Amino acid sequence: MDENIERQKEEIDAISAIYQENCQCEDENFQTYNIRIADGDLIANLIVTLPPEYPSVGPPYYLLNCPWMSRKDKEELSNEIERVAESNIGESVIYQWAEKVREFLQNKGDALQKLQAEETEEEKARKQILKSIPIWTTPCPEIVSSEPFTERKSTFQGHIATVFTQDQVRQVLAKLYENRKIAQATHNMYAYRIYKEDSKSWLSDCDDDGETQAGSRLLHLLQIVNSKDVIVVVSRWFGGILLGADRFKLINNAARQVLQLGGYLEASNDTGKRKNK
């Protein structure tokens, strides 16, 4: 254990010397550090927490905070990071992880530059025309948002709306993402549940947005309270401390809070829809 502590100290000292102000201690008690890695306009935050058994037994815990990155890109980068960990058991890996993130950003930046260079004037004009065409022909459903709450530096906020079609689901999500703060959340997980009267069937789906199993748990909550024709979204802004399984309870609390605020829980025993006020 003492050897691990010494090796951790040496590694963090080295990382701090390399990244300087871009390496910040988020929480001394939990040994959590935030390494800001940038390549041009592309920025990613690699957040690592060092458990007592690192590095002799296994790697540190990590989280990638880069809201601009697609889910596919996050999965690809996470796989690269995990491969580094698996091939270096017992070794210090944080610098290798950071360099892997930097390499990924460089490749992504090069690909974007190449794509932009290949774009013709005709394609630019076509995109401009598409931008001028209204996406939605009907008003966005009313969205109700709860007051955000913070637990161990992570902030949670719920959002809810009545929806009857998948098009309205997309409309609500697009409207929420117009809010810069929500768009920059670490995770925006959601679930929706719609009852189709014509076919007497359910239309439902969910999305984890990088928070594994969170979306399916939200959908399960909607089923338990018998809510229908509704979408619930929970935004989480990660604060640097890994919450473990407690995060699911907090996500559930945020969802229940906004269900209550929107008037969906009171009516769940009847129709499952929002109560008229």
**Rg of the chain in Å (alpha carbons):** 22
Contact present, 63 and 47 (Cβ < 8 Å): yes
Tens-digit pLDDT profile for residues 75-111: 899 999 999 999 999 999 999 999 999 999 998 888 7
The reported pLDDT for the residue numbered 2 is 80
Q: What are the residues facing 143 on neighbouring strands? A: 161
Q: What are the residues facing 154 on neighbouring strands? A: 151
Helices (H) and strands (E) in the chain, counts: 8, 10
Q: pLDDT over 70 for what percent of the chain?
A: 87
The reported pLDDT for the residue numbered 69 is 83
CA distance 160 to 143: 6
CA distance 275 to 277: 6
pTM of the model: 0.53
Backbone angles phi, psi at 176, to 5 degrees: -65, -40
Residue identified by tokens 């990071």 is 81
CA distance 105 to 101: 6
